[in-house]
Amino acid sequence: MPKVLLLHTGGTLGMAGGRPSALRPSAFFRTLKARVPELFDLADIELELFSNLDSSEMQPELWSGMAAHLYRRLPDFDGAVVTHGTDTLAFTASALSFMLRGLPRPVVLTGSQRPLGKIRTDARLNLIDSVLSALNGPREVTICFDSHLYRGNRTRKVKVAEYDAFESPNFPVLGTLGVDATFEPGLRPKGAFRLLEKLDPRVFLLKVYPGLDPALPLALLPHVRGLVLEAYGAGNFPIDPSLGRSLRPLFAQARERNIPVVVVSQAFRNGVDLTLYESGVAALEEGAIGGGDMTPSAALVKLMQALAYHSSLDAVRRFIQAPVAGELTVGRPPAPPAAPQRRRKLHAR
């Protein structure tokens, strides 16, 4: 029998309650055995409790602990499934993908929109599909949700109350778990399995919007070591000094303070090209780092890791602009995912 490690961290999947009382973490393992007994026919599942948190409580220190735990335990298993809340799932998946290098086995993260104990829960299928993906899917950090397997660091939570809560806007799915389950080969492990668990969380994610007073982010600079700017479209932001809200001084002062600024896009599809418009060119002149088609969450976590391992701006730039775990498209982007991306399904009671 193949062996799968099931590491529980919390989230709706394992919660009890619901209106009128709030959902809260509950006794997950008992419910799991009662509600998904077939999970234990698929593999010899070893259950471990890492935490029991609503994922809005997830923090970088916990990512490091989780990565260290997986690094220690993974060699004894054929794959791992991590159950996690959906709210910060994309951040955790990005962090694990950057920390666990040369991954020799699949690490599949999952969660659910309805708790496991509820009728019409999506947790049962997500768990079964995740164990299948941990046994047969690519050796990388993925998110398995609503019959699809995504590269973890490419995903975004896009829906609050529907089962197809995740999308991978700039990268094709790595697996489809329909009537048949099919998987892509995914990343090839580079080098020996190793752990890079250090992060510097002193970063800030700033979203550009009409009316943003540049004095606000300027006042932040003494308190941060790195910035991710979620710019408009291809990497744009206001630079006209006559309109009073140019962000150019922010880039200039960040550079003076040796603070890297990574620019990503607010748009979901495609990425930034800082050579295309005047503001992007100004950002480049001030030393900004184009984040390509990385998601803002992947860029933020990658910057935390860059700052923990590199001190010069050039080294941080090189690190950000080279893919670590397939989080960034270099050169020609892959063909967009075939539309429609997913089939409608009826979940039987």
For ligand ASP, which is the closer residue by CB, 11 or 117? 11
- Work out whether 130 is an interface residue with ligand ASP (CB under 6 A): no
Extended beta strands in the chain, E state: 3-10, 15-18, 21-25, 44-53, 79-83, 100-101, 107-110, 141-145, 148-151, 156-157, 166-167, 175-177, 181-183, 194-195, 203-207, 226-231, 261-265, 289-290
Residues 71 and 48: their CA atoms lie apart, in Å, by: 14
- Work out whether 11 is an interface residue with ligand ASP (CB under 6 A): yes
What's the min distance (Å) between Cβ of 10 and ligand ASP?
Answer: 6
Coil, helix or strand for 282? Answer: helix
Near ligand ASP by CB under 6 A: residue from 79, 106, 111, 238: 111
- Work out whether 54 is an interface residue with ligand ASP (CB under 6 A): yes
Q: How far is CA 347 from the centre of its chain?
A: 27
Torsion of CA 134, 6, 58, 310, to 10 degrees: -50
- Name the one range near ligand ASP by CB under 6 A: 48-56, 124-132, 254-262, 269-277: 48-56
- Work out whether 83 is an interface residue with ligand ASP (CB under 6 A): no
What's the min distance (Å) between Cβ of 114 and ligand ASP?
Answer: 9
Token pair for residue 68?
């260290």
- Could you give the string, one character per residue 168-197, with x where binding to ligand ASP holds by CB under 6 A and - elsewhere? ------------------------------
- Work out whether 92 is an interface residue with ligand ASP (CB under 6 A): no
Active site residue 121: no
Looking from the CA of 267 toward its CB, the CA atoms found within 13 Å total: 13
- Work out whether 86 is an interface residue with ligand ASP (CB under 6 A): yes
The DSSP code for 116 is T
* Binding-site ranges for ligand ASP (CB under 6 A): 10-12, 54-56, 85-87, 111, 113
- List residues with catalytic annotation: 12
